[in-house]
Amino acid sequence: MTTSTLSTTDRIEKQPPAWTKMLDLSDRALAVLLLAPAALLLSLIIVYPVLRLGYTSFFSLSLTSGLPAEFVGLDNYRLMIDDPVFWETTWNTVLITLITVPGALVVGMALALLANLPFRVQWPVRLSLLIPWALPLSFAGLIFAWFFHSEYGVVNDVLMRLGLPGVIWFNSPNWAMAAICLTIIWKTSSFMALIILAGLQTIPRSLYEAADVDGAGRVRQFVEITLPLLKPSIVVALIFRTITALQTFDIPYMMTGGGPGTSTSTLAMYIHQNTISFLDLGYGSALAVVMFLLSMCVTVVYLRIIRTKG
Amino acid sequence: MASVSLRKLEKSYGALRIVKGIDLDIRDGEFVVFVGPSGCGKSTTLRMVAGLESITDGEIRIGERVVNKLAPRERDIAMVFQDYALYPHKTVRENMGFSLKVRGVSMKDAEGRINEAAEMLGIGHLLDRRPGQLSGGQRQRVAMGRAIVRRPQVFLFDEPLSNLDAKLRGQVRTEIKRLHQQIGTTIIYVTHDQVEAMTLADRIVILRAGDIEQVGTPDDVYNRPRSVFVGGFVGSPAMNFAKAKVEGGNLVFADGNTLPLAQIRTGRETALEGRQVIVGVRPEHFSTAADASLALNVKVQVVEPLGSDTLVHFAIGNETMTARMSPETRPEAGAQIRVGVDPAKVHLFDAVSERVLD
C-alpha cells in the first residue's frame, strides 16, 4: 500500500517529457504541426507538379530534338493561338462538356428517381447503377466501339430491325461525336445518379406527405420540393462531372482515336499526343496549363453559385 | 367543419394487424384525442383518416363523404406533423401559403388569410424567415398556421408537442386549446402523453394493440376506467393495483390487510365472494388514516417530498403502491403507518379479464 502510494506521488512529480512542451506552445502551433504532414504530401503531389508544369510551359523542350531546354517566354502560348488543332480539340472538348454534362444530369436524375422508388428488393437496382460507374473508362470505350460498329454493332442491328438505315458511325465527324457523347452519358450518368440519390434520401418523407395534404400533385412536388432541396447535390455532381468532362480522354481515344481526322479529338488527347507521342514537353505543358485554367474557372463559377444560394 | 366516422376500420401489413376494426363517431367541432402506448395504432389510424395510409378494410367518412379512396388533398383536412414537415427552402409566408397557391386562391385572399393566422399565433414577425432560423416552438406554431390558413373541415395533429421541451409543451398545449375554442374546427389529436390527452380532449380514445380500450370524457376515463390498462394509463402517478381475494365480505390482500367490501360495493358482496380481484386505487385517493373509515397497515419504503404534496411509497404483498399525501405528511422510511382509503374511489377489476367489475 505504502509502495503504491509512493510510486503514484513519484509519477505526479515527474516532469513531462521534453517533447510535449512543444505542444504547450499554442493551439496554433499544434494545428500547424498536425497539418504539416498532409500539407507536405499535398505540396509534393499536387502543388509542385502544377508549378513545375507552369514553369516547363515557358520552355522549348522537345526530347526528340536533342536540344537543351531553352527559355522562350510565352512563345508556346503564342503558338497555340495559331494552332488550328488546338482550337478544334478545345471546341470538341467544350462541345462534349456541353452535351454530356446536361445529358448525364437528366439521365442521372431519372435513374436516381427510379432507384429511390420503394422497390421490395433494393440491391439489383443499386447494383445496376454502380456497374457503369465501376467499369473502367477504356473498357466502356471498347464496348461501345463494338456497339456502334457499322457491320457487327448492336446499334445498327436495332436500327435496321426498325426499318431504319444503318449508320457508319465512325466515318462521319457528327455521327462519331454523337456516338462518343452517348457513350459518355451512359458511363457517367450513374455517377450523377448516385450523388442525386444520396441527396434524395436526405429529403424527409413527411415533406411529401405535407405536400400531399397541401394539395400538390406529383409534378408540383418535384418542382417545389425535390428540385430545390436537391440543388446542393446537383451542384456538387455538376462540378465533378464538368471537370472530368473537360478532361475527356479514354472514351474517344478507344472509340475513334480522335478521328475521322482530328474531328473527335479532345484537348486531353492533344496534350497526350504532344507530350507522350511527340515528346514535346514545352508545348504539351502549355496546353495542360490552359486545361487546368479552364477547370479552375468552371470550379470557381460553381462554387460561387453554391455560396450565393446559401 | 365536419363530423368524422370510422366504421370497422382495419389496417394490416401482411399478417400483422395494426388496427383491428375500430368504430368511432367524432362529432362536428369535437376535440378528440387518441392516446395509447407506442404501437397501439393511434398514428396509423390518424394517417388513414388523412389518406397517407391505405385502409385494409372498413370505412372512413368525413362529413357525408366516404373518403376511403380519396387522395389526401381531396379530403379537405389539414395535418400538423410530429417533425412539423415545414418546407426548409421556403419562408414562413411561403410555407403557410403553399396550399393556397396550389389551390389557386388569389394572392390578396391568401395574404389576408396568412396574416390572420400569423396574428392568431403570434408569428407575424417571422413571416419572412426560413424554418431553419426558427426555434422549436416557433416552428410548431408555423406548422399550425399552415394548417389554419387552409380552413379545412378537420385538423389532424400527429404528436405535435413531442419535440418540445416540457415548459414549451405546456405553453403550446394551452395555445392549441385556445385555438380550438376560437375556430371550433373538428380536431383529431394523437399523443402518447396522457396529460396532453386529459387537458385538451373533449373525448379521449384510449387505444391498445389496435383496439379501442375506452372512449370517454377525461372525467370518465379518469374516474371510471373500464380496465386495468386504462386505470394504469391515465393519471400521474399511475393508479396503484394490488391483487386481493374476496373472503367473508372482505377484500383480503396478500400481506393480510383487509378492506370490508360492504363499504366499497354495497349489495354486490355476495356476487363477488370467493373471487380473485384486482384492486385499483389512485395515489390521490389515499389519505392519512386519522379521518378515514377504511385503512391499510403498511410499511413505508420511500418518501418523496414534492413541495405541493408528498409521495409515500409502500408495499402491499409484492405490489409497490404510491400515495399522494398532504405536504406536511412526512413519515420516516421504514415506519409502520396506517393509510386511509376513500371507499368511493376504490376500483375493482376481474383478476383474469382485467375488466372492471360493475
**Domains in chain A, ordered, with CATH?**
83-309 (1.10.3720.10)
Using CA atoms, how far residue B268 sits from A131, A266, B261, B272, B274, in Å, is 77, 99, 8, 7, 12
| Residue B235 lies inside a defined structural domain of this protein | no
Q: Do B214 and B259 belong to one domain?
A: no
Confidence at residue B168, expressed as pLDDT on a 0 to 100 scale: 83
Q: Do B188 and B254 belong to one domain?
A: no
H or E segment at B58?
Answer: strand B57-62
| Residue B230 lies inside a defined structural domain of this protein | no
Contacts of A216 in chain B (CB under 8 A): 73, 98, 102
Is-contact B50 B147, C-beta < 8 A? no
H or E segment at A20?
Answer: helix A19-23
Q: Do B147 and B208 belong to one domain?
A: yes
Confidence at residue A40, expressed as pLDDT on a 0 to 100 scale: 95
Cell numbers standing for residue A217: 400533385
Q: Do B285 and B200 belong to one domain?
A: no
Q: Which of B190, B223, B256 marks a domain boundary? A: B223
Question: Which of B48, B52, B86 should one mutate to test binding to chain A, selecting the residue with the greatest count of A CBs within 10 A?
Answer: B52
Give the ipTM of the model, two decimals please: 0.84
Cis peptide before B283 (omega within 30 of 0): no
Residues A265-291: tens digit of each pLDDT: 999 999 999 999 999 999 999 999 999
Residues B97-117: tens digit of each pLDDT: 999 999 999 989 999 999 999
Residues A150-193: tens digit of each pLDDT: 889 999 999 999 999 888 999 999 999 999 999 999 999 999 99
Find the mean pLDDT for residues B41-46. 94
Give chain B's domain count.
2
Residues B130-141: tens digit of each pLDDT: 999 999 889 999
CATH number at residue B169: 3.40.50.300
Who among B72, B83, B86 is closest to A212 (CB)? B72
Q: Do B171 and B246 belong to one domain?
A: no
Task: Determine which of A128-132, B40-44, B270-274 has the lowest per-residue pLDDT on average.
Answer: B270-274
Confidence at residue A9, expressed as pLDDT on a 0 to 100 scale: 46
Q: Do B44 and B77 belong to one domain?
A: yes
Name the one residue in this structure whose C-alpha cell is 403498511. Answer: B298
Q: Do B217 and B246 belong to one domain?
A: no
Cell numbers standing for residue A154: 448492336
Find the mean pLDDT for residues A135-145. 93
| Residue B231 lies inside a defined structural domain of this protein | no
The percent of residues in chain B predicted with pLDDT above 90, rounded, is 68
Return d(Cα B12, Cα B17) in angstroms, integer. 4
What's the CA angle centered on B45, arms B40 and B46, to 5 degrees? 115
Confidence at residue A147, expressed as pLDDT on a 0 to 100 scale: 95
- Would you say residue B343 has pLDDT above 50? yes
Confidence at residue A117, expressed as pLDDT on a 0 to 100 scale: 86
Q: Tell me which chain B residue has its CA closest to the CA of residue A204.
A: B85
Contacts of B312 (CB under 8 A, 6+ apart): B286, B300, B302, B303, B304, B322, B323, B325, B329, B331, B337, B339
Instruction: Residue window 193-212, chain A: list those with CB within 8 Å of chain B.
Output: 204, 206-207, 209-212
Q: Do B219 and B303 belong to one domain?
A: no
Q: Tell me which chain A residue has its CA closest to the CA of residue B84.
A: A206
What single-letter DSSP state applies at residue B293? S
Cβ-defined contact of A213 to B103 (cutoff 8 Å)? no
Q: Which of B193, B223, B253 marks a domain boundary? A: B223
| Residue B107 lies inside a defined structural domain of this protein | yes
Residues B22-32: tens digit of each pLDDT: 999 999 999 99
Q: Do B19 and B44 belong to one domain?
A: yes
Q: Which of B223, B252, B273 marks a domain boundary? A: B223
pTM (2 d.p.): 0.79
The DSSP result for A34-87, as a single string, is HHHHHHHHHIIIIIHHHHHHHHHTTEE-BTTT-PPPEE-TTHHHHHHHT-HHHH
Contacts of A207 in chain B (CB under 8 A): 85, 87
Q: Do B22 and B66 belong to one domain?
A: yes
| Residue B289 lies inside a defined structural domain of this protein | yes
Q: Do B280 and B137 belong to one domain?
A: no
Confidence at residue A1, expressed as pLDDT on a 0 to 100 scale: 38
CATH number at residue B302: 2.40.50.140
Cis peptide before A68 (omega within 30 of 0): no
**Cβ neighbours, 10 Å, residue A11:** 8
| Residue B272 lies inside a defined structural domain of this protein | yes
Return d(Cα B46, Cα B232) in angstroms, integer. 24
Interface of chain B toward chain A, CB-CB under 8 angstroms: 50-52, 71-73, 77-79, 81-83, 85-89, 98-99, 102-103, 146, 150
Q: Which structural domain range is residue B262 located in?
A: 240-350
The mean of the pLDDT values for chain B is 91
The percent of residues in chain A predicted with pLDDT above 90, rounded, is 67
Using CA atoms, how far residue A179 sits from A136, B107, B234, in Å, is 18, 50, 71
- The band of A5, judged by pLDDT with boundaries at 50, 70 and 90, is very low
- The band of B273, judged by pLDDT with boundaries at 50, 70 and 90, is confident
- The band of A22, judged by pLDDT with boundaries at 50, 70 and 90, is low
What is the distance of C-alpha A58 from the center of its chain?
28
Of B273 and B146, more confident: B146
Confidence at residue A20, expressed as pLDDT on a 0 to 100 scale: 58
Contacts of A209 in chain B (CB under 8 A): 50, 52, 72, 79, 81, 85
**A215: contact with B, CB 8 A cutoff:** yes
Name the one residue in this structure whose C-alpha cell is 375556430. Answer: B183
Residues B140-158: tens digit of each pLDDT: 999 999 998 988 999 999 9
| Residue B355 lies inside a defined structural domain of this protein | no
Return d(Cα B303, Cα A107) in angstroms, integer. 69
- The band of B267, judged by pLDDT with boundaries at 50, 70 and 90, is low
What's the CA angle centered on A198, arms A196 and A199, to 5 degrees? 60
- The band of B290, judged by pLDDT with boundaries at 50, 70 and 90, is low
| Residue B138 lies inside a defined structural domain of this protein | yes
Name the one residue in this structure whose C-alpha cell is 414534492. Answer: B306
Q: Do B23 and B172 belong to one domain?
A: yes
Confidence at residue A6, expressed as pLDDT on a 0 to 100 scale: 45
Cβ-defined contact of B99 to A214 (cutoff 8 Å)? yes
- The band of A19, judged by pLDDT with boundaries at 50, 70 and 90, is low
Confidence at residue A298, expressed as pLDDT on a 0 to 100 scale: 87
